[in-house]
Structure 1
């Protein structure tokens, strides 16, 4: 049943020069497939990938930040998604922020961008477009850390990881044998890190394919009595403002959510409405399809998703293949 999907994962692994890959599928709360191949690095004598291998999931960490933002809304620390960002970010130019809302910051529709020198500028008016930038993630990370008086990874450990039993999901700052290294250039040795922050929270969240699937399963099953159902709903329902351009993707709290299929979405047109997905630049993809009661976690360790400027085609193709299997 799964051979076509496994073959697809392996084909992209080879074509993109990833040294390793993993694929875990859960259905009806049970693991129905585990596939591991390759090695932790592109160097000789590297450790084989297995169920304990912890991949750097890069921007897929946004789904973890999204859950903490949902908690902040649920617990009243953020009053409303439509609050103006200026209420919370007094240190940023208020005229520049203008009418930017929290909703726009978490759905990539804020229109802000940041130069290399750290200065912030506006690309488009808030709510009138969509662009994947890093400034909104930095802003929301700073906000929830400030609101809770602790880092959002600490909050997740306390509220989710420990009660869910996730022991191999953590922001790593030092290399160890279970960490899969990231291949930047196939002709050069791989590296453990891709971020700049000393505490690892910028980019270096590592987890196993199993635990990434369990993270998705937590959302699929509405919090599993660990996280309030309302928190999950906030994170995974479409929260994007209405766009004039119907080709733009739709988001929950950073998750990509399937509404009416959109050409610029990373979710394929054959995936049912209400499904949601997150990915990272190193190749991880977590896809949740509530209609079929399934979670799919796919891992690679090559920086930049395969396909160059056409990478969305391959992401959409993967989700469509998954959907076809369970249709």
Structure 2
């Protein structure tokens, strides 16, 4: 990692929090990395890549399936398209870019609605239907991601993975981040109740499917890139306007104030919102994204912090409150910071 290490015990309560979560979900491995004031101050790994006898130990180069955390990378690709003029505005109607779709069904749905989960669309068995009018509520569905990746490819002529590789992964030296069409020994198996060897294996590596794996240290660097708004080691590696777009509140003002708030798919902390996934102690201006495997990256600009946790569990066991768990993860990070300020 290009960020220096100065491991200390300041964030030991966060290590304990991640360990407790690891022991509460059905997984075989976990990791936590925290960057504070431009140094890696916490880095811990637990367990094995799978429950099989002799499975590889979880270590620095272990790549976890990040599930919905991949949406932050897709958000970057959309921000790249907007910044470079491939998309005129996020208030453009989706039908302008995908004219083959049902204009009556889309009914004024915009890119902003897709980016902030306020589109009101859902897809079941290949059929798209409407749950609510765009901009009037919030629901976490997959159809918006499918539409956004199509729009990126149609307008830029590049896939999401091509954009990320060219403009982030190669300049930043990310070698443990990507979409994989085949399993390899660096990828931790996603633990689930059936006999499938790992979750959601797809042949496509275009960035349009749920087959993204990232190491804890690369995910921390991804958060750090956003924290520093693309300015790394004295060089503007990524245009700060792209990252600013992605992490600034973009939710339409027409939704209820207690619904989650989003940038370009990132969850953003703005006004207090009852249904947010971000902890109460985490200050305004912070942003976070969480995946179904428990993977998460939290960026707290006010305190110069990136906190990453990784698991290889599939969903949540009965009785496990994942929202309370992820909120308390962020609050535990903040308690460690605030303790020194008392």
SS at match of 2:42: strand
Task: Verify: 1:209 aligned to 2:216, yes or no.
Answer: yes
Residues 145 and 97 of structure 1: CA distance in aligned 2, closer, same or farther (over 3 Å): same
Give the distance between the partners of 2:180 and 2:255, measured in 1 at CA. Answer: 41
* Residues 185-238 of structure 1: per-residue CA shift (max 9 Å, x gap): 2xx556333254543731111111000000000000011211111111100000
Picking from 39, 46, 69, the partner of 1:37 is 46
Aligned residues: 324
Kindly report which structure 2 residues correspond to 1:125-136, keeping only aligned pairs within 5 A, or say none: 125-136=133-144
Moved more, 233-242 or 201-210: 201-210
Picking from 300, 320, 325, the partner of 1:289 is 300
**Offset of 1:29 from its aligned partner?**
1.9
Give the CA RMSD over aligned residues.
Answer: 1.5
Indicate if the aligned counterparts of 1:43 and 1:189 stay in contact, CA closer than 8 A: no
Structure 2 residue runs without a partner (length 5+): 1-9
Picking from 238, 242, 256, the partner of 2:249 is 238
Picking from 269, 283, 289, the partner of 1:272 is 283
Indicate if the aligned counterparts of 2:33 and 2:307 stay in contact, CA closer than 8 A: yes
SS at match of 1:21: strand
Give the distance between the partners of 2:145 and 2:39, measured in 1 at CA. Answer: 33
Match in the other structure for 1:154? 162
Indicate if the aligned counterparts of 1:261 and 1:268 stay in contact, CA closer than 8 A: no
Residues 17 and 273 of structure 1: CA distance in aligned 2, closer, same or farther (over 3 Å): same
Match in the other structure for 1:81? 90
SS at match of 1:265: coil
**Offset of 1:308 from its aligned partner?**
5.7
Kindly report which structure 2 residues correspond to 1:66-77, keeping only aligned pairs within 5 A, or say none: 66-77=75-86
Indicate if the aligned counterparts of 2:295 and 2:309 stay in contact, CA closer than 8 A: yes
SS at match of 1:120: strand
Task: Verify: 1:57 aligned to 2:52, yes or no.
Answer: no
Task: Verify: 1:94 aligned to 2:103, yes or no.
Answer: yes
* Residues 233-292 of structure 1: per-residue CA shift (max 9 Å, x gap): 100000000145221010000000000121111001111000000111111000000000
Match in the other structure for 1:223? 230
Residues 16 and 181 of structure 1: CA distance in aligned 2, closer, same or farther (over 3 Å): same
Task: Verify: 1:317 aligned to 2:328, yes or no.
Answer: yes
Residues 287 and 306 of structure 1: CA distance in aligned 2, closer, same or farther (over 3 Å): farther
SS at match of 1:299: strand
Task: Verify: 1:262 aligned to 2:270, yes or no.
Answer: no
Match in the other structure for 2:18? 9
Give the distance between the partners of 2:46 and 2:195, measured in 1 at CA. Answer: 19
Moved more, 92-101 or 309-318: 309-318
Give the distance between the partners of 2:139 and 2:178, measured in 1 at CA. Answer: 28
Give the distance between the partners of 2:297 and 2:318, measured in 1 at CA. Answer: 19
Give the distance between the partners of 1:307 and 1:270, measured in 2 at CA. Answer: 27
SS at match of 2:321: helix
Picking from 129, 132, 141, the partner of 2:149 is 141
Give the distance between the partners of 2:12 and 2:228, measured in 1 at CA. Answer: 27
**Offset of 1:79 from its aligned partner?**
0.3
**Offset of 1:159 from its aligned partner?**
0.9
Give the distance between the partners of 1:308 and 1:196, measured in 2 at CA. Answer: 31
TM-score (norm 1): 0.95
